[in-house]
Amino acid sequence: MIPFLDLHKINQPYEKAFKESFQKFLDSGYYVLGNAVKEFEQAFAKYCGVNYCVGVGNGLDALTLILKAYIELGKLQKGDKVIVAANTYIATILAIKHAGLEPVLVEPDDQTFNLDLKEVEKNINASIKAILVTHLYGQLAKMKSLRRIADENNLLLIADAAQAHGAEDRNGNKAGSLADAVGFSFYPSKNLGALGDGGAVTTNNKDLAKVISQLRNYGTSSKYINEYIGFNSRLDELQAYFLLDKLKDLDDANSNRKLVASRYLNEIKNEKIKLPFWDGSMDHVFHLFVVQVEDRKRFAEFLEKNQIGYLIHYPLPPHQQKAFSYFSNLSFPITERIHQQVVSIPVSPVMEEEEVSRVIQVLNAY
């Protein structure tokens, strides 16, 4: 069986470092918001090419706290509307709702599955105050154009980079620096994954970083002094140690993912399988390699029979989820087709050549 993702194999090279980090963690006697979190924040900010990084509890909280902080700073008000892709993972939309804002769903580009620029512009009106873009599957959205649209319309540009750690634009700017504020997840399966939950916000906005730092810790400005109605959402000290151990290898791991993806793109030749778009640049880090098939049930059964792991990202679009039943009258044909046809096949930095060859062989035989 070729697993969809072998997390044990990914983390195995770090076991010695993890044990040493755990001992440092024990010896420090400091278990919440200690030196490891500060060190990781500094290291990840430098890696992303920004001035500030704030470690938080998870990726959903990262996005929610960005929006909440903008409300505290007066840049947003409750009830303001935020443009977001209709086909994003539901967490992106949950963050908007948790912040007391209203999501405006728009169709994605049919080629990249990221925000369609024409749809964005078509949906801008006086009540729209921000664009929240997702770099879906690890591929950067068209950030230069989105930046122009945001600036022309005086909108905040916020990014969900939970799947895009290390992706770069053509000028070498990393995902964490391409918006006013960027939210990351360090869920174990991410390109930079912890051994539990974790998240972060990156930004060049000093005031925003300060407010998020306070909001994540009950809204405190100093011990027991609460300036805001805050949350408890702090990057765990132990996870910060583990992330520091892995951050130094992130670019190499992403390169390995791209080697696997390149083989798939060059060697899978089956008219029944539509491969993802990639122009070969650094803008994609292949958190996922997502193909499209018309008969997903049959394709999944074929993969299972041939012992190829797979997942579906995602089987049901947000507007068809019970949680968002008030969207049920909306129709998004491109989004709905994507969610009916996508299948994610194995792509990871630790796949063996023969495993990649086997996946190619099986898909070509479908």
pLDDT tens, position by position, 58-113: 999 999 999 999 999 999 999 999 999 999 999 999 999 999 999 999 999 999 99
Q: Does domain 7-107+114-247 have CATH number 3.40.640.10?
A: yes
pLDDT at residue 137, as a whole number: 98
**pLDDT band with cut points at 50, 70 and 90 for residue 164:** very high
340-350 average pLDDT score: 98
The answer to whether the beta carbons of residues 188 and 196 sit under 8 Å apart is yes
Q: Alpha helices, DSSP H only, in 49-191?
A: 59-72, 90-98, 117-123, 143-152
Tell me the C-alpha distance between 38 and 33, whole Å: 7
Bond into 314 cis (ω within 30):
yes
- Common-topology check for domains 7-107+114-247 and 250-365: no
Amino acid at the residue 137: Y
pLDDT at residue 49, as a whole number: 98
Q: What are the residue ranges spanned by the domains of the chain?
A: 7-107+114-247, 250-365
Enclosing H/E stretch for 157 = strand 156-160
pLDDT at residue 366, as a whole number: 98
Other beta carbons within 10 Å of 126:
7
pLDDT tens, position by position, 234-272: 999 999 999 999 999 999 999 999 999 999 999 999 999
pLDDT at residue 46, as a whole number: 98
What's the farthest any 2 CA atoms get from each other in the chain? 64
114-130 average pLDDT score: 98
pLDDT tens, position by position, 277-319: 999 999 999 999 999 999 999 999 999 999 999 999 999 999 9
Which architecture, in CATH terms, is 250-365?
Alpha-Beta Complex (3.90)
φ, ψ for residue 102, nearest 5 deg? -115, 120
